[in-house]
Amino acid sequence: MSTINDDVTSIDAAATGSTDSAHETHAHALVPVVADGPQAPAAARITDGADDADLEVELQEMESAAATLHREGMISESEAAEKREQVARTRRLFRDLPPEERAAIVRRRRDIGRQLLDRQLSGAAIVPAAVRLNHTRLRPLFEQWWPYLNRMSINMQRFGRATFGEQDKGAVTAWFDKQLDSLEAYVDEQFNVAQGFRERTEREMRERGDIVFQPTVTKPSLDLQVEAYSRFSMRLLSLIIRFDRVMDHFDFLVWNGVRDQADVDEETSRFLRKFHPVGVRGYMTHLRLMTAVRGL
């Protein structure tokens, strides 16, 4: 079983290929993880956090997150300036790389998340959980954010005070709790609306004598066991799985000609965009905690 310091070393090595310089290490770590595949046109200017639609929008999100952290007193002015410089280095570095190296960086970040899932943390009290995600669009969301948020949650308990101080630790924790409450409320609303609409639609179709299709996913996008380190990470996992159930209802509506696939895609993108700030800030907090752990 790995130790925390083992994981720090592993993360650094995977993120940099064990040969990058110090400034490239930070730059590579900050490159957003996205699903493999072709990039959308730059004119779209949006990203749902699970694809490589627009790197510039992703970097702007990270700059905004650093400004928010500073404004809320979670990081100092010098730390905010350092993060802005990291974003600028990332922008220069990523744009200068050939396409195959860009793809390698993206894959490394995704690989690191999967490695964290495979590692056990010594001395950690865990709750095992089964993760089954039917829909492909939620797999990148899970792989690029949940492993880091899961590890962040236990390291915040262990090293949050030493890293942030008592007052700032409370502010950081309160922000994540507020965002989680908001996400849970949003997903619950989406689930109830989608389920109610499906039930009403199915009832009306049967009353008309229409053929009602009942689509199912026989091969899930993701099916594995994970170890959750905190109530926070378990709640995050539960809402991701619950939105996957929302998408099951969407499948029914599309199959039966009630909703267009483009409408469903937009609803899914809205959820991914709502989750994205939590993932970005969670990953930044994870990096800061791991840096602090190395210094202990």
Residue given tokens 């709502």 in the structure block: 274
Q: Are strands 222-228 and 127-133 parallel, antiparallel or unpaired?
A: antiparallel
Q: Report d(CA 61, CA 240) in Å as an integer.
A: 22
- Asked which of 24-28, 88-92, 168-172, 194-198 is least confident by mean pLDDT, the reply is 24-28
Which of 252, 228, 247 is CA-nearest to residue 238?
Answer: 228
Contacts of 247 (CB under 8 A, 6+ apart): 134, 135, 137, 138, 264, 268
User: Of 66-70, 83-87, 140-144, 186-190, where does the model show the most confidence?
Assistant: 186-190
The predicted model gives 97-122 an average pLDDT of 79
Phi-psi domain of 246 (left: phi exceeds 0; alpha: psi -120 through 50; beta: other): alpha
Residue 10 pLDDT level (bands cut at 50, 70, 90): very low
The average confidence (pLDDT) of the chain is 79
Structure confidence by residue, pLDDT tens digits, 265-282: 999 999 999 998 898 889
Lowest mean pLDDT segment, chosen from 34-43, 140-149, 250-259, 278-287: 34-43
87: confidence class by pLDDT, cuts 50, 70, 90? confident
